[in-house]
């Protein structure tokens, strides 16, 4: 089967009658049609949501009704793990929808990781989003943003990226041939697996002398000046696609709500989307309770942790005072402090979805924690030893669950889902360095700080090219 829709043709712009964009600030609440290309409210500058007139939409009365789509795998919209939930993100007509077979992911019960985190056997699940076509969860959101771009007739789409967003955008552009990708990357760390995808998929790749936060600021300017469609997670349609990660978690649990969802936090798009997903499912009466949400920062990029856990920044129904955030950003600038972590996908100091994430934390009675690069790499090694593997940023979820368990906030008997956001092969450099590098050279080779030992290293053994020596080595070590 083809990966994109053969019938997709450039058509005129379309507008939904039952979906619209709405400012997240209750004080403003301005609304805009789905035919408008916006990444912030023109009236007050806040983020936008995609909202629906649910009573005019034919939503299934129970989540199990979505299972009927499983028998329709020949239909690309039923095969897609995003679009089989179309009724829960109904902003585009089916003939405009773009898919590359995204969202066919796995919820894996991982007992070895449960033991590492100190949870009862059977209670830790890994939601493996590395199985997406471009290897990260970003495809869930990108197919939705891309679909919206297709609805409004965009010809070019742009993003700033630590790597996975650009890989995903480049893939959708290449596979659908509907648009040209323009990607902005910083000159710091970008994992080679990700860069290689963007280059091979043929994206116009602009490397800025700066970090992700700089690239993000520039891409906003450039896209508004040149009228290029922006697909970063400030794009409200992207988050609609990312809601489906939670739908699939529920699906895999036969529609039971787990106790905890644990997710790494970078730009906070995922955590924001998860909160919206649960708020909507609850409001629609499709679930009777929401899980708790834990967002995990890297210690070297811990803005949300600092603001939420130390400076009491809160959403408060949209009335929270954002002054502590402004204050904190000024402090970062004054100290010239840049984000720094081995987990390059979450190496972000100015998360664009901060306010939406605060809202999600309120909806899901959430907590925020930070984990060190040491904790991230050790957790990653444990995940990999279980056979599915992930990139460093993803392992922050497992490391964070371990911290929360040790603090008694997660109970041993809780059912916990950790999101593995990206594939193991995205960043082989970090993995190989962890397993092979001498401890003294560790931080130098990995470009990080504070990592003292590779606790779970699986070292290669060096043997002379001699049969007896080889046999002796194998018998000694196995
Ligand atoms: C983008 C990304 C993240 C961060 O997700 P946000 O939604 O920006 O918080 C985490 N892990 C991986 C692998 C990513 O690509
Ligand atoms: Zn507004």
pLDDT digit string (tens) for the chain, length 478 residues:
334 554 455 566 778 889 999 999 999 999 999 999 999 999 999 999 999 999 999 999 999 999 999 999 999 999 999 999 999 999 999 999 999 999 999 999 999 999 999 999 999 999 999 999 999 999 999 999 999 999 999 999 999 988 999 999 999 999 999 999 999 988 866 788 999 999 999 999 999 998 888 898 999 999 999 999 999 989 999 999 999 999 999 999 999 999 999 999 999 999 999 999 999 999 999 999 999 999 999 999 999 999 999 999 999 999 999 999 999 999 999 999 999 999 999 999 999 999 999 999 999 999 999 999 999 999 999 999 999 999 999 999 999 999 999 999 999 999 999 999 999 999 998 899 899 887 777 777 777 777 888 899 998 888 999 999 999 999 998 8
Ligand 1 atom 2: residue of nearest CA: 345
Beta strand pairing status for 19-23 and 31-33? antiparallel
Domain boundaries, the chain: 108-134+258-430
Distance 189 CA to ligand 1 centre (A): 15
| Pocket residue to mutate for ligand 1, from 236, 245, 264, most atoms within 8 A of Cβ | 264
Q: Compute, in angstroms, the gap from residue 115 CA to the centroid of ligand 2.
A: 46
Contact status, residue 294 vs residue 304, Cβ threshold 8 Å: no
Task: Check if the beta carbon of residue 451 is closer than 8 Å to that of residue 474.
Answer: no
Cα dihedral across residues 424, 429, 435, 441: positive or negative: negative
Alpha-carbon distance of 452 to 442, in angstroms, equals 8
Cα separation, 200 vs 21, whole angstroms:
34
Q: In the chain, helix, strand, coil percent, each to 5?
A: 45, 15, 40
CA neighbor of 346 nearest in space, from 287, 388, 296, 284: 296
Secondary structure class of 160 (helix, strand, coil) = strand
CATH class of 108-134+258-430: alpha beta
Residue reference for tokens 């969202």: 103
- Phi, psi of 295, deg, nearest 5: -105, 130
- For the CA of 272, the nearest atom of ligand 1: 7
Tokens 């909202």 belong to 51
Ligand 1: which of 160, 399, 421, 426 to mutate, most ligand atoms within 8 Å of CB?
421
Q: Could you give the CA distance from residue 328 to residue 319 in angstroms, rounded to a whole number?
A: 19
> CA 428 from chain center: how many Å?
19
Residues 6+ apart with CB under 8 A from 370: 296, 297, 298, 299, 302, 305
This prediction has a pTM of: 0.95
228 Cα to the center of ligand 2, angstroms: 22
Tallying the residues shown for the chain, one arrives at 478
């Amino acid at each position: 089967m083809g990966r994109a829709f053969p019938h997709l043709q450039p058509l005129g712009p379309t507008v939904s009658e039952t979906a619209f964009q709405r400012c997240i600030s209750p004080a403003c609440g301005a609304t805009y049609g789905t035919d408008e290309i916006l990444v912030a409210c023109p009236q007050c500058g806040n983020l936008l949501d995609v909202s629906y007139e649910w009573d005019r939409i034919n939503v299934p009365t129970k989540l199990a009704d979505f299972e009927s789509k499983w028998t329709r795998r020949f239909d690309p919209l039923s095969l897609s793990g995003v679009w089989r939930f179309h009724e829960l993100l109904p902003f585009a007509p089916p003939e405009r929808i773009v898919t590359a077979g995204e969202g066919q992911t796995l919820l894996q019960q991982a007992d070895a990781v449960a033991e590492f985190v100190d949870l009862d056997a059977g209670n830790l699940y890994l939601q493996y989003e590395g199985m997406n076509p471009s290897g990260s969860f970003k495809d869930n959101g990108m197919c939705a943003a891309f679909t919206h771009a297709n609805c409004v007739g965009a010809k070019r789409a742009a993003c700033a990226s630590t790597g996975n967003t650009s890989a995903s955008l480049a893939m959708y552009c290449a596979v659908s041939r509907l648009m040209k990708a323009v990607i902005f990357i910083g000159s710091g760390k970008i994992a080679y697996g990700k860069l290689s995808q963007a280059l091979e998929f043929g994206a116009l790749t602009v490397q800025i002398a700066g970090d992700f936060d700089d690239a993000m600021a520039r891409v906003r300017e450039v896209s508004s000046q040149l009228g290029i469609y922006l697909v970063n997670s400030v794009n409200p349609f992207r988050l609609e696609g990312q809601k489906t990660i939670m739908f699939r978690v529920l699906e895999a649990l036969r529609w039971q709500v787990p106790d905890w969802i644990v997710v790494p936090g970078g730009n906070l798009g995922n955590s924001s989307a998860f909160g919206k997903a649960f708020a909507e499912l609850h409001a629609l009466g499709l679930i009777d309770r929401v899980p708790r949400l834990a967002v995990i920062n890297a210690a070297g990029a811990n803005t949300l942790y600092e603001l939420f856990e130390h400076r009491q920044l809160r959403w408060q129904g949209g009335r929270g005072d954002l002054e502590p955030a402004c204050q904190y950003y000024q402090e970062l600038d004054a100290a010239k402090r840049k984000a720094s972590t081995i987990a390059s996908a979450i190496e972000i100091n100015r998360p664009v979805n901060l306010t939406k994430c605060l809202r999600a934390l309120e909806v899901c009675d959430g907590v925020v924690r930070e984990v060190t690069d040491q904790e991230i790499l050790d957790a990653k090694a444990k995940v990999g030893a279980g056979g599915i593997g992930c990139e460093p940023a993803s392992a922050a979820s497992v490391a964070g669950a371990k911290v929360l368990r040790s603090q008694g906030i997660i109970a041993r008997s809780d059912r916990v889902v950790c999101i593995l956001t990206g594939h193991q092969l995205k960043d082989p450099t970090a993995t190989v360095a962890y397993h092979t590098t001498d401890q003294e050279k560790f931080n130098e080779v990995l470009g990080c700080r504070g990592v003292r030992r590779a606790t779970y290293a699986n070292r290669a053994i060096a043997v002379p090219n001699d049969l007896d020596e080889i046999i002796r080595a194998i018998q000694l070590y196995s």
